[in-house]
Amino acid sequence: MKRAPRTFKAVPQSVETASGDLARELGLPWKQTGMPRLLIGRREWVGLPELGISPLNAKTDSGARSSSLHAEEVVLSEDKQRVSFVTINHYGDRISCEAPVVGSLKVRSSSGIARRRIFIETEAVLAGGFNLRIRLSLANRGVMRCPMLLGRRALSGFFLIDPQGSHLLGGVRDLERFVPGTRPT
């Protein structure tokens, strides 16, 4: 007779001890990191108000160096200073966008293939109201579950990722308060 594997759920408890003292008490390595970090999940709701895109389900990926946005019909202007493209939001609405180009680099995808990608820079707003300026490469992410990927350059210094949690900063309705035009589910 086979036994079902046992699963344990960690329950967070309030701790009165400072982080450094607790780490030393448990014999763990510890380094003062400076400012506190926000805890986010493996997916978070994001709006890109400068591009008129909201809501987007973004995957947080500390293994990816750069962030990426789903883009189709990408057209570079003749002077290569601007790019126009079409993307989709969470509801499947096709949104035409135009943005200044901030660079073009070879990026190696998770499949190991390196391709030249166009980079843009824009403001990103998370469901909890946190605003940050990020660089995004434009790539066809049509087969991916999430049309946007937040890489470690965007996350560094601000966030810690809980790989078991999703949308820890809030839902689509929370994003609606910070990004005009986001319709509730």
Domains of the chain: 36-176 (2.40.70.10)
pLDDT (average), residues 119-131: 92
Q: Which of 137, 161, 163, 133 is nearest to 148 (CA)?
A: 137
Say which residue the tokens 């966030």 belong to. Answer: 159
Q: What is the average pLDDT value for the chain, to the nearest integer?
A: 85
Both tokens of 37, joined, read: 């970090």
pLDDT (average), residues 129-154: 92
Is the pLDDT at 183 greater than 80? The verdict is: no
pLDDT (average), residues 167-176: 89
pLDDT at 185: 47
Is the pLDDT at 10 greater than 60? The verdict is: no
Is the pLDDT at 180 greater than 80? The verdict is: no
Query: pLDDT: is 14 or 98 the higher one?
Result: 98
Instruction: Tell me how far apart the alpha carbons of residues 118 and 185 are, in angstroms, rounded to a whole number.
Output: 32
Task: Quote the pTM value.
Answer: 0.78
pLDDT (average), residues 70-82: 94
Is the pLDDT at 34 greater than 70? The verdict is: no
Both tokens of 109, joined, read: 């995808």
What residues have CB less than 8 Å from 87, skipping those under 6 apart? 51, 53, 69, 70, 71, 72, 94, 95, 97, 147
Quick one: 136 exposed, middle or buried, by C-beta within 10 A (0-12, 13-18, 19+)? Answer: buried
Is the pLDDT at 13 greater than 60? The verdict is: no
Q: Radius of gyration of the chain from Cα atoms?
A: 19
Is the pLDDT at 15 greater than 70? The verdict is: no
- Please check whether residue 27 is in contact with residue 154, taking contact to mean a CB–CB distance below 8 angstroms: no
